[in-house]
Amino acid sequence: MSSNSTIHEHVDKVWTNEILPKLHDYIRIPCVSVLYDPDWKAHGYLDQAVALIRDWCAARPIAGLSVEVLQLEGRTPLILCEVPAYNGGPADDTVVLYGHCDKQPEMTGWREDLGPWRPVLEGDKLYGRGGADDGYAAFASLLAIEAAQLAGLQHSRLVVLIEASEESGSPDLPAYLEAYADRIGSPTFVLCLDSGCLDYERMWVTTSLRGLVAGTLRVEILTEGVHSGEASGVVPSSFRIARMLLDRLEDSSTGALLLPELHEPIPADRRDQATETAAEFPIGGHFPFVEGAHPAMDDATEQLLARTWLPTLSLTGIDGIPAIAAAGNVLRPQTSLQLSIRLPPTCDPDRALAAVAKCLTADPPYGAKVQFLDGHAGPGWNAPPFAPWLWDALESTGQETFGKATRAFGEGGSIPFMGMLGLRFPAAQFVITGALGPGANAHGPNEYLHVPTARRVTECLAHLLHAHATR
């Protein structure tokens, strides 16, 4: 039997018999990230998810495998797996495989027969929070290593990192990278399964990721609520003050952000890539618009660039506003808005964070108390050019596994770890890929993992490990 056949059959068997049942168990755990559950340690859900993944990984028949849960004081845990070089692969060369096990919060709008913590396999789709983002990554990474060894393929020294704070912007990860730098080593190749794809028919490789600035804009004008008929017209609305402050940051008629610190030039090669990709894979139809609604712009290239290289503002949460059913005629004392600002991949996140905080809090209207709370930032990432050996391997394994050519595109989300590693190891090669395609709806309701794509990506990883070791 050829190595390709061995890998294909083993990956298919383990995914069907072992990984899918384990992902059902993982989806049932409401292990939301630390930003959304500050009492995560007392609740124990993140520790449950870490234990589930650790136990599965530790039981794999992988030569030389060691699995450890690292726990720095006051930090979420990190799973560290180490595998020595195999079958003559270079022992002094390191590959890092990355994923995370924390989740986004529940979100409303799930189908009546679905739910965030209720795993449902419907055809090729495994519904439930976190299966695709990014619970499957640990299982797929270990299985790829296992399948490569079973097929007799070489691989270099391997380090698998599964963190538990990615959905909060990876605030705990830098501490682990510093504390365990000697064990992680100096990787020349990084593999990550936390990204997406523009269809489920081929392997997609991510060439850029946006950075992130986030925080809570809190506006206080009164010490307590007062009768709206008595006070309105004299007391300015806290919501109107918040709108005034957001107008400093964003042109509400176009969505363009106004601070120069949030913008970066779009490289010519990325613009050309977006033009080529958009011509064949327009993304405007990927989103569940209500009847009659349409994207913010018509041009498919500009749509792709807007979600990958332009800064944008999203309002992701509100406090201080009662539900309509409980709303009285009261002028509310405060309004708090959770802001999520996506940054161009090459934008300096700390400079951007400082600019946003200053913009929103300087010279507050009407002397209101204005704060930008819990502000945090994460770096974006722009991939270095693919080395010839890597692009050849991507093309060959993509064609072998999916039956179609591998494609590359920029992604609009953030994976802070990639930016961190890119700065530390500028000579490393990266493959950022994943199974989050059209309709998968990560972070939203009805999130699902497209299982056949996840299986095929697992196969591709096994071959890429061999290609790196024999380059």
Is the pLDDT at 377 greater than 80? The verdict is yes
**Token representation of residue 208:** 């850029």
- CB within 8 Å of 116: residues ≥ 6 apart: 30, 106, 107, 110, 128, 129, 447
Signed CA dihedral, 151, 190, 417, 128: sign only:
negative
Is the pLDDT at 1 greater than 80? The verdict is no
pLDDT per residue as tens digits for the range 102-130: 999 999 999 999 999 999 999 999 999 99
The CATH topology of domain 212-278+302-378 is Alpha-Beta Plaits (3.30.70)
Is the pLDDT at 342 greater than 90? The verdict is yes
Provide the pLDDT for residue 229. Answer: 95
pLDDT per residue as tens digits for the range 395-424: 999 999 999 999 999 999 999 889 888 888
pLDDT per residue as tens digits for the range 213-270: 999 999 999 999 999 999 999 999 999 999 999 999 999 999 999 999 999 999 999 9
Round to whole Å and give the CA distance between 40 and 324. Answer: 31
Is the pLDDT at 195 greater than 80? The verdict is yes
Average pLDDT for residues 59-81, to the nearest whole number? 98
Provide the pLDDT for residue 72. Answer: 98
Round to whole Å and give the CA distance between 320 and 268. Answer: 45
Give 363-379 as a 3 state SS string.
CCHHHCEEEEEEEEEEC
Give 115-141 as a 3 state SS string.
ECCECEEECCEEECCCHHHHHHHHHHH
Provide the pLDDT for residue 262. Answer: 98
Spatial CA neighbour of 86 closest among 150, 18, 10: 150
Is CATH 3.40.630.10 the right assignment for the domain spanning 3-209+380-469?
Answer: yes
Tell me phi and psi for residue 24, to 5 degrees: -60, -45
Query: At 189, is the secondary structure helix, strand, or coil?
Result: strand
Round to whole Å and give the CA distance between 12 and 351. Answer: 47
Average pLDDT for residues 300-322, to the nearest whole number? 96
> In this structure, are residues 375 and 212 in contact, taking their beta carbons and an 8 Å threshold?
no
Provide the pLDDT for residue 365. Answer: 98
Where does the pLDDT of residue 283 fall: very low under 50, low under 70, confident under 90, or very high at 90 and above?
confident
**Token representation of residue 199:** 């269809």
Where does the pLDDT of residue 315 fall: very low under 50, low under 70, confident under 90, or very high at 90 and above?
very high
Where does the pLDDT of residue 356 fall: very low under 50, low under 70, confident under 90, or very high at 90 and above?
very high
Provide the pLDDT for residue 285. Answer: 80
Q: Tell me the pLDDT of the chain averaged across its residues.
A: 96
Residue appearing with tokens 């859900």 = 45
Query: At 460, is the secondary structure helix, strand, or coil?
Result: helix
Domain ranges of the chain: 3-209+380-469, 212-278+302-378
